[in-house]
Amino acid sequence: MAESLWLEGTWLHDNGDDEGARMAFNHSRLMDPAFAGAHYNYAALTEKKTGKSAEALAAWRDYLKAAEGDRRQAREIVEKVREHTRAWEKS
């Protein structure tokens, strides 16, 4: 079910409905907390919507936690997100 919601979120995003996509990714990550792809997309859309907010930073941290155990996540992307959040925390 979590993957179906992720696919729905991807479709919604591709068709210009960022808020609908964000909700689908949120439901996906809540259904399967280990599904890092849903966390990543939710975090990206949360940052797009709210800027560098506490909510967006928390979403990126949740992604990093999920990505640790999800081998589908490219290590380069994980490291870029780590650098992004570190710079954010320092500012």
Helix/strand/coil for 30: helix
Q: What is the pTM of this model?
A: 0.92
* Spatial distance between the Cα atoms of 50 and 83, rounded to a whole number of angstroms: 19
pLDDT, tens digit (0-9, with 9 covering 90-100), for 40-82: 999 999 999 999 999 999 999 999 999 998 888 888 999 999 9
Residue 61: which H helix or E strand, with range? helix 54-68
Angle, alpha carbons 30-27-6 (nearest 5°): 110
| Confidence at 83, pLDDT banded by 50, 70, 90 | very high
Domains and CATH numbers, the chain: 2-90 (1.25.40.10)
* Averaged confidence pLDDT in the chain: 94
* Cβ partners under 8 Å of residue 30, min gap 6: none
